[in-house]
Amino acid sequence: MELYNIENNQEYLNLQVELIAMQRWVQDTGQRVAILFEGRDTAGKGGAIMRFVRYLNPRGYRIVALPKPTEMEKGQWYFQRYIQQLPNRGEIVLFDRSWYNRAVVEPVMNFCSSEQYEVFMKNVVTVEKMLVEDGIHIFKLWFSIDEQEQKKRLEERITDPLKKWKLSTVDMEAQLKWNTYTHYKMEMFAQTSWQGAPWIILKGNDKENARLEGIRHVLTSLNYPDKGQTGERLSPDGNIVTHAEIRRD
């Protein structure tokens, strides 16, 4: 189900109607929603975001995909540049990668020191608890793919002229560092999945099913008026969506 024919998919359109109703509630009641899209390189995060926002009111959402930090930002509190991007009243913010760069990508690629990594892992849940207690709805979605599927998608980026812009030096090392990524991913799940903002893991080898189930997870977690008006299933498929084990404080 590519972008050019999703208009023919009634399941997807029904979920879009639900998303519009949800967004209207966010805007009318001043809710703040932050959705974090994480996963290995080529996992389908960007495409998932585009599925979420295709019919939403552009005045009510922002997509945040921050570049590598500037020299000034490197000297700031790590969370500072992300805090500035948090949703305002009545807004949904979708993070194409987030502060969790420091949990997986940065240590794998040696973009941070072991001390910086440890400080982040020690503090991130505390920061998130402050945000949730202040009323922000945080969703943490991890799109999971297997090694062979990633290899196939990387090869597509090399050969497809419409996807070459997605290819980076980090992508090229993804396969070589597969096991290291796995180690840090599992540590992230174990240490940062907590009751107020658990990690939601979506089996992403089938991109479109994962994206639809990600939408369902967000919809089913929020109590907006006219919820379920389309009659579409909102409860996520347990064969595709799982929760990382909640940490015990």
User: In this predicted model, what pLDDT tens digit does every residue of 169-189 receive, in sequence order?
Assistant: 676 777 889 999 999 999 999
Choice between 188 and 156, residue whose per-residue pLDDT is larger: 188
Q: Which DSSP string corresponds to 47-86?
A: HHHHHHHTTS-GGGEEEE---SPPHHHHTS-TTHHHHTTS
| pLDDT for 78 | 98
pLDDT of residue 165: 67
Q: What are phi and psi of 186, to 5 degrees?
A: -65, -35
Two structure tokens written together for 109:
């690629």
pLDDT of residue 167: 66
Give residue-wise pLDDT tens across range 203-229. Answer: 999 999 999 999 999 999 999 999 999
Confidence of residue 7 (pLDDT cuts 50, 70, 90): low
* Rounded-to-10 torsion of CA 208, 152, 161, 171: 100
Prediction pTM value: 0.93
pLDDT band for 6, please (50, 70, 90 cuts): low
Q: Residue 157's pLDDT is what?
A: 79
Counting residues of the chain whose pLDDT is more than 90, the rounded percentage is: 84
Q: Say whether pLDDT at 196 is over 90.
A: yes
Better-predicted residue by pLDDT, 182 or 151: 182
Give the mean model confidence (pLDDT) for residues 13-34: 98
pLDDT recorded at residue 3: 47
- Contact assessment for residue 37 and residue 97, using Cβ atoms and an 8 Å cutoff: yes
The confidence score (pLDDT) of residue 156 equals 84
- The larger pLDDT score, comparing residue 70 to residue 168, is at 70
Per-residue model confidence (pLDDT) at position 53: 98
Tell me: pLDDT of 50 over 50.
yes
Question: Which domains, and CATH codes, for the chain?
Answer: 3-243 (3.40.50.300)
Residue 183: half-sphere exposure toward Cβ, Cα within 13 Å: 6
Q: What is the reported pLDDT for 249?
A: 72
Taking all residues of the chain, what is their mean pLDDT, rounded to a whole number?
93
Residues in the chain: 249
For residues 106-111, give the mean pLDDT. Answer: 95
Q: Is 135 left (phi over 0), alpha (psi -120 to 50) or beta?
A: left
129 by Cβ neighbours in 10 Å (0-12 / 13-18 / 19+) ranks as middle
Tell whether the model's pLDDT for residue 1 goes beyond 60: no
